[in-house]
Amino acid sequence: MDDEEARTRLLDAAEARFYAEGIQAVGMDRIRAESGVPLKRLYKLFPAKEALVAGYLERRDRRWTGSLREAVSAAPADPVGAVFDWLAAWFSEPGFRGCAFLNAYGELGAGGPAAVLEPVRRHKAELRTLLAEILPPGPDRGELAEQLLILVEGATAVAALAPGPAPARRAAATAAALLRTADGRAG
Amino acid sequence: MDDEEARTRLLDAAEARFYAEGIQAVGMDRIRAESGVPLKRLYKLFPAKEALVAGYLERRDRRWTGSLREAVSAAPADPVGAVFDWLAAWFSEPGFRGCAFLNAYGELGAGGPAAVLEPVRRHKAELRTLLAEILPPGPDRGELAEQLLILVEGATAVAALAPGPAPARRAAATAAALLRTADGRAG
DNA sequence: TTGCGGTGAGAACGATCGTTCTCTAGCGTT
DNA sequence: AACGCTAGAGAACGATCGTTCTCACCGCAA
């Protein structure tokens, strides 16, 4: 097992445990046991738990945002609908437990380590950008993107406590009403 | 200092620290130091940390829901608008850091102690009920309440990372669009 | 064969956690 | 004055945390 594979196994274990049980609730020894990577190597690749948490969030962000971006690209006729379809599938995955980034932020607080807070902020900035990109250009674009963001976050928060596609469907219906109204105002 | 006052001071300290820093990050000794209540009395009033956390969430739920309910009652002409005005004020409070219940749920996970999970679920059920009550009767009432809930949760989640009244204002505008559309469909 | 740098397994360390125990000081009753 | 009860202050306990250290073992250059 080379460093690359060890790194992957560590991040796999970290993501599974941190997301399911919370960050503080999972010790480094659990990561070692679940990944099969010796503690010494763990600390060579991630010099402290903080680095492992940051690595977990950064990799999850790349995968999450990349997957959403793919889904949007695959449906150029209705990118907004694609976002909520994608959310519905995500909410239905076994073990879904809300947004990993908001969970981490809620757990660590605003005074948490910068190496952890920064991926959280970057993740939300990327989501904001993506939502703006799928809206038609116009003076309301930024404002509408912010409103879409609220719908996405709201559906995710509601689904965190009651998993399933329903919150995504409801948010999609709300988004449709919102965009219809905006169209009316614009045209 | 009788038991009643000790209890209040303990819950005050617990709420301040747990909300600001997270539950696992705050030890019982910090609660003792901040409240001025001896450890022995603390454990007499709350036999374990779990009980203190449950007490914190339950009291916060009563205060939070009660305050929102008051604001709604005071504006019978526009109760939905009152909800988002109330949210805007909440988001602007110093130290605002999102929904205490979702933060606790995210931190403790679905496998957390029932004494903690139950107040979280009850809080969300109460909010759902309150939102349904302020909507005009009709076949869409339940569905609209769920959509309002998504807007409330979404605004709260967005404001958690960027405090201020803006997310509440945007959610209010979205709610207005939603209700206008629903009116059109109904009448 | 001898030495050596690096690795794995896991013990060890100091800190901190939730919780309990010890000891003492005060107070009301007789 | 002597007693028993309660409560405060804080030490103590066992567990667990993040992190480091020990030591035996390996592959490989001379």
Asked if A160 lies within 8 A of B120 by C-beta distance, the reply is no
Could you check whether B1-47 and B50-186 share the same CATH topology?
A: no
Asked if A152 lies within 8 A of B154 by C-beta distance, the reply is yes
Distance of A39 CA from C8 C1′ (whole Å)? 9
Which of A97, A156, A180 is nearest residue B110 as measured by Cβ atoms? A97
* pLDDT for the residue B185: 65
Nucleotides of C under 7 A from a protein CB: 7-11, 16-22
pLDDT in tens, A10-48: 999 999 999 999 999 999 999 999 999 999 999 999 999
CA–CA dist A168, A18 (Å, integer):
24
B3-21 vs B100-108: helix crossing angle, rounded to 10: 70
Provide, as residue numbers in chain A, all residues whose Cβ is less than 8 Å from the Cβ of B158: 146, 149-150, 153
Query: pLDDT: is B104 or A184 the higher one?
Result: B104
How distant is the Cα of A69 from the closest Cα of chain B, in angstroms? 21
CATH class entry, domain A58-186: mainly alpha
Q: Spell out the domain ranges in chain A.
A: 1-47, 58-186
Count of C-beta atoms within a 10 Å radius of residue B38:
12
With tokens 């219906």, the residue in question is A173
CA–CA dist B62, B123 (Å, integer):
9
* pLDDT for the residue A185: 65
pLDDT in tens, A130-181: 999 999 999 999 999 999 999 999 999 999 999 999 999 999 999 999 999 8
* pLDDT for the residue B187: 53
CA–CA dist A17, A11 (Å, integer):
10
At A183, the pLDDT band (50, 70, 90 cuts) reads confident
Helix, strand, coil in percent for chain B, rounding step 5: 75, 0, 25
| End-to-end CA gap in chain A | 61
Chain B interface disruption, residue of A53, A99, A107, most B CBs within 10 A:
A107
Asked if A149 lies within 8 A of B171 by C-beta distance, the reply is no
How distant is the Cα of A108 from the closest Cα of chain B, in angstroms? 6
Asked if A107 lies within 8 A of B109 by C-beta distance, the reply is no
* pLDDT for the residue B1: 84
| Alpha helix stretches (DSSP H) within chain A | 3-21, 28-35, 39-45, 49-73, 79-91, 100-108, 114-133, 141-161, 166-186
Residues 25-84 on chain A lying near strand D, CB distance under 7 A: 26-30, 39-40, 43, 47-50
Contact of B79 with A83, CB cutoff 8 Å: no
Which nucleotide minimizes the distance between its C1' and the CA of A3? C7
pTM: 0.96
Please state whether strand D lies within 7 Å of residue B41 at its CB atom.
yes
Look at residue A35 and give its three-state secondary structure.
helix
Q: Which CATH architecture has domain B1-47?
A: Orthogonal Bundle (1.10)
Asked if A97 lies within 8 A of B109 by C-beta distance, the reply is yes
CA–CA dist A89, B26 (Å, integer):
36
Contacts of A105 (CB under 8 A, 6+ apart): A112, A117, A120, B98, B160, B161
* pLDDT for the residue B173: 98
CA–CA dist A30, A22 (Å, integer):
13
Which of A109, A150, A180 is nearest residue B20 as measured by Cβ atoms? A109
Has residue A187 got a pLDDT over 60?
no
CATH class entry, domain B50-186: mainly alpha
Beta-carbon contacts below 8 Å between A and B: 148
Asked if B102 lies within 8 A of A170 by C-beta distance, the reply is no
Interval A97-118 mean pLDDT:
94
Extract the tokens encoding A110: 């605003």
Could you say which residues of chain B have pLDDT below 70?
185-187
